[in-house]
Chain A
Amino acid sequence: MRVPRRSAALAIAVLLGATPWLGGCLFSPRDPDGPPQGDQTNWETPVSTAIVLSNMKAALGDESQANYRDCFTEDFRFHVDPADSLLAGEEADIRYANWTREDEEQAAGNIFAASVGVDLSLTSIIGPDESGDDTYREDDYELRVTFELAPGIESDVLYKGRAVLYLRRESGRWAIYRWADQRTVEPEQNETWGVLRGEYRE
């Protein structure tokens, strides 16, 4: 029996639409080891820009790379302070150029690996206008990273600066799509988070 071309196309379309939900057969994500041993999640659905920042703070504290990644959009770009870029000299390119979400995630992972604790505190300088789907805000940050110099010997390093954040709302969730770092104190006092990122990019 000849199947009408239009019906065949419709059948294929339905099959195609359903394919992602049959995808477990093709792509099999791994099973987790089991229920958590530690704390429950500190992630909140980011329905406001303030929650994005609190999620970021929690992800840094919990050393959760996936939750940290979810604070940023796919097209995220980070721009270091121009003075930090100039001071990096020959290494400016490899440290800071074309910084994407993958770099952000990688740097966070490397910082987690090199430290024993990360604590972020933020002070709002300019608040966001969240009436649209695109906004910005300015926040001063203090990022305290605890490094273990030797077994039992820890040292805190404080990174200070200002984050000018551009955020976008997609499907009700806010995420950062651009971060411009600004130096607020001199390098002799405190480096910026941008410098820390550059040191742990690779």
Chain B
Amino acid sequence: MRKPIRRRARSEWLVPLALLLALLLLAAPATRLRADDGDGEGSEEVGEQDASDSEGTGDDGFPEDDGASGEDGEEGQDGEEEEGEIIETAWDGVVRPDGPPPEGRPVNLAATGIVPKKTSFLGLHPTYRLTHTRDKDVMGWNHAFNLSRPVTGRIDFTASSAINVTENEVLSRVNRTENWNAGLNVNVSRAVGMGIKFNRNVQRDVRNENKPNEVKSFREKESVSLSSNYRKTHLSGIDVSAGISAGLEKNEYADVKNTGLTQGVQGAIQYEPLPTFKTAVSYNGGHSLLDSKQGALESSDESSDHSLSGRAEYDWSTHSFAVDLRRHSSSKEYPKEQQTERRDQTDRDATVRADFRFLSNITANLSYAYSSSRTSYALESTRDSDMANRAVDASLGYTLGGTRYTAELKSEKKRNDYFNFQSGNVDHQSLGGSISHDFTDRFGVVVRGRMSLLSYQYDDIDENDQDRDLFDREGTLNLTYRSKGGIETGLLLRLKQNELIYIRRSRTGDNKTTQKYTVQPSITKAFGGGVKVTQKYELAADYTFYDYDRDSNFLIRDIVVSTGVSWNPVPQLMLSVDHRHRSQDEGSYVEDESGVERYGKNSEREDKSVGITVKYKLLNAIDIEASQSYSLQTKWRFDEGEREFAWEKFDTRLTGKASMKYDVDKATKLELSIARTLRDATNVTERQKDVWKITGKINKAF
């Protein structure tokens, strides 16, 4: 077993140093600005912000007008994501079965599109957003606060916080995520900048809070770093940037605690000798030394990270070429089960790409990519891996008159080494093409074809019998026609075949081919008075043929008819009625005595649903929606040709919803939504019968 290296990081002195530097940075502007005034040759404004521009011009990052863009807020969010190293691999601690599936990551507030106007308050630019969501079982709070303060033209201070709290009463579970950031940036000269940053991330998951069986899981990370950067563009077309950073980091999770030092180095050169030729090289490096403690283990964990990348682009006539190269290596030590684990990883990537444009109507793209990744562990060597991937991608597009042709070819070969009998090759090839043609303004046709072969080939076929090929083919024909009378029609025909071919005899019992035939006609007619009627049909037959188990051959047949009528008598009012009928039967598709494959129905199922929805905008501010739906599923089984009732399920829902958006003043926006669903259904649980959902958002710019 590896013995931990005992090295203690002397980090204590860095805290006062950081504070001292922060004070110096605050005091520095008056003395340092003039020193750089004569250094303007060939330099461009790089992060420079003149004090006179700091209000209202937009150059300082704060939009002058109502700020629909809200870039600053978004930048803040992005920054948080970069800083926030708590990994969101799970939903926010709560799974809501009654609602739509939540996203895998926390909501990005900037993405909500609600960005209030930025105003100035004593030179500060704070914004605050509060979101509250509640239903019968789950309550969520989200606070987001951003503050920007241009101290002078060359110094700005930013701070932000984001707090998410989700409580699930049914699961007796609370999930809390906090992210705190603060930063002070100083443009020492046009080319040189310095900064100090603080970041704190906390994530807690508590089950059965304040009860004897309370269980807490958490992770905390705090970091502070000082950075200095340089960037200058020379007349010769060379753009040079470089930066260094150093800081402190503190982590706590599970039974692990560690603190220590971090350092970083960045450098980049961009060279553009010709307008048609650009090159760039960049390097990023990081190093950390953390004193860790886990139970009886006390160790110094050293980690490093190096990334070197280069890019060259060349434009020749109407064609362009690009080459990308990257090499990344990292080494990370961390405590694991009271031992020091070390993960070493080396990645290499190379991509060559050529984009051709011949004449005005022919385009072609060709690319080749190679990547490899090697990972090794000191303790868990069974997780070591060495992967290599080669891929060629070619596509062609050709337009002639009203016809567009496309073709695409992909070939990918992977070599996966796990240093056991899971090692092997995975090859994937695909070929696709399409033709689209508009015969008239009203009639168009699209034809598509595609096939692919995915092949798994393992080295040790005695120990691993999972060698297999997946061969997929698909062809579609799509017709659209619009009549003079305003009737829109469409017809989709699709044929799809998938083959699973296990190679080894111990597995070939599963070999099968599925064939799906689908026909989807549709028609839409808009009448006067805001009435629109749509009807869609779907007829599908889905066959499964087993290569060596023909008695298991199977057929599913589906017929679906969907009808929708919507009526907009006035802009504020919309009524719609939707009806859906699905008839599905399934059964064996095996040969009879005469060797002819025949369908033997095993079961039949009918799903019917009808829904009515009314939407009304009240006083041009409040959206009111009421809907009612009813569905009925019935299943029959067939026993020697006789249809027997199997089961019946119903589901009925009545939903009322009111929502509003209100601008309290120019800087304050309010959103509120209240919905209640009453439900009755076969096998419904009590908590699903009456579900409230309330959402409130306040956006305040001070």
List residues of A whose CB falls within 8 A of some B CB: 5-6, 9, 12-13, 16-21, 23, 26-41, 43-45, 47, 62, 64-67, 70, 77, 79-87, 89-97, 99, 109-110, 112-113, 126-127, 129-132, 136, 138, 164, 166, 171-173, 178, 180-183, 186, 202
Contact = CB atoms under 8 A, between A and B. Distances in A.
Contacts of B447: 13, 16-17
A113 B464 contact: yes
A181 B468 CA distance: 30
Given A79-B91, A92-B87, A186-B215, A35 B548 contact: yes
Contacts of A29: 453, 455, 469, 471, 499, 501
B104 A77 contact: yes
A23 B473 contact: yes
Contact of B104 (A41, A79, A86, A89): A79
Contacts of B400: 5
Contacts of A113: 420-422, 464
What are the nearest 5 A-B pairs in CB distance? A20-B473, A96-B89, A36-B509, A27-B453, A86-B217
A41 B550 CA distance: 10
Interface in B519-559: 540, 542, 544, 546-549, 552, 554, 556, 558
Contacts of B93: 82
Contacts of A41: 509-510, 512, 546, 549, 552
Contact of B475 (A18, A80, A83, A186): A18
A35 to B, nearest CB: 5
A14 to B, nearest CB: 8
Given A32-B547, A96-B89, A20 B450 contact: yes
A67 B500 CA distance: 9
A33 B542 contact: no
Nearest to B471: A29
Contact of A83 (B104, B205, B549, B633): B205
A89 B254 contact: yes
A62 B434 CA distance: 40
Contacts of B203: 82, 86
B504 to A, nearest CB: 6
A12 B455 contact: no
Given A27-B429, A33-B504, A173-B542, A83 B219 contact: no
Given A17-B475, A41-B549, A86-B203, A164 B95 contact: yes
B564 interface: no
B334 A90 contact: yes
Mostly helix, strand, loop or mixed at chain A's interface? mixed
22 contacts: A13-B445, A20-B450, A20-B451, A20-B473, A23-B431, A31-B503, A32-B501, A32-B547, A35-B508, A41-B510, A45-B586, A64-B507, A77-B104, A91-B334, A92-B89, A127-B683, A131-B609, A131-B649, A136-B101, A173-B542, A182-B95, A182-B171
Interface string B287-320: 0000000000000000000000000000000000
Interface of B: 87-93, 95, 97, 101, 104, 171, 175, 203, 205, 207, 215, 217-219, 253-254, 256, 332, 334, 336, 343, 375, 383, 385, 400-401, 403, 405, 418, 420-422, 429, 431, 433-435, 437, 439, 445, 447-453, 455, 464, 466-471, 473-475, 477, 496-497, 499-512, 516, 518, 540, 542, 544, 546-549, 552, 554, 556, 558, 584, 586, 607, 609, 631-633, 649, 651, 681, 683, 685, 688
A5 B651 contact: no
Contacts of B554: 44-45
B89 A172 contact: no
Given A29-B455, A171-B516, A16 B435 contact: yes
A17 B495 CA distance: 9
A138 B101 CA distance: 13
A85 B431 contact: no
Given A84-B90, A131-B651, A138-B97, A109 B510 contact: no
A86 B429 contact: no
Given A17-B477, A86-B205, A171-B518, A9 B435 contact: yes
A178 B101 contact: yes
Contact of B334 (A9, A26, A70, A89): A89
Most B CB within 10 A of own CB, among A16, A21, A38? A16
Contact of B503 (A32, A67, A131): A32
Contacts of B510: 41, 43, 62, 64, 66-67
Contact of B90 (A32, A70, A81, A127): A81
Contacts of A79: 89-91, 104
A89 B503 contact: no
A37 B505 contact: yes
A187 to B, nearest CB: 9
Contacts of B336: 90-91
B631 A131 contact: yes
A107 to B, nearest CB: 11
B506 A85 contact: no
Given A35-B505, A40-B546, 7 more contacts: A27-B471, A28-B453, A30-B455, A32-B502, A41-B552, A92-B89, A93-B87
Contacts of A130: 607, 633
B217 A87 contact: yes
